[in-house]
Amino acid sequence: MLIRGRCCIGSWMDSFGVIGYNIKMQCELCGREGEIVSAIIEGVELNACLNCAKHGQILKKPVLIKKEKKIQAEEIEESLVSNFAALIKRKREQLGLNQEDFAKMLNEKLSVLHNIENGSFRPSIAVARKFERILGIKIIEEIRPQKISLEKIKAGGLTIGDILNKK
């Protein structure tokens, strides 16, 4: 059974965009579908059908659940540029900062900064953002996943080589 339309809490329903939607509800006690109310039964607040709610105290009628819309966000991956170490070192030297002072500005250990500038250590994205903010350079790049069309390219069908050539 489906619940439809307005009820005594119509303004609440309007703010959640529920009006005009069919909402399928089940009783938390017996599992029956139908008009559901909020009730206190044996000291516990439950969403129950009218049949089960009569065993407790009815609080409000009817109970509606906010429908959440799933928004499919494009997955964007962040990565460091390949020459991040040289960019950081060059910009630090241009600003006339030594490693010790610069490490204090970043609130990082001197050894960490030394290893990052040598390229033997890749900083996390959070630390890389500190470098970008303080030095005014861009070392984080956004990588958007490519969608590969798996259509048949040849009459013989799609091969692994065809997929690799598409990239």
Q: CATH number for the domain including 90?
A: 1.10.260.40
Domain residues for the domain of 17 are 10-60
Across all residues in the chain, what is the average pLDDT?
75
Total domains, the chain: 2
Question: Would you say residue 153 lies in a domain?
Answer: no
Q: Name residue, tokens 């030394």.
A: 114
Q: Are 87 and 49 within one domain?
A: no
82 and 139 share one domain: yes
Check if the beta carbon of residue 146 is closer than 8 Å to that of residue 77: no
Which residue positions in the chain have pLDDT lower than 50? 1-23, 63, 71, 152-154
Q: Does one domain contain both 45 and 94? A: no
User: Angle CA(29)–CA(31)–CA(37) in degrees, nearest 5?
Assistant: 65
Residues 140, 117: Cα–Cα separation, whole Å: 15
The answer to whether the CB of 24 falls within 8 A of the CB of 2 is yes
Residues 87 and 56 in one domain: no
Q: What is the pTM of this model?
A: 0.46
CA distance 124 to 130: 10
Q: Is residue 157 part of a domain?
A: no
**Within a domain: 116:** yes
- Tell me the per-residue pLDDT of 22-37, one tens digit each, with 9 for 90 and over: 446 788 888 888 788 8
- pLDDT given for residue 117 in this prediction: 93
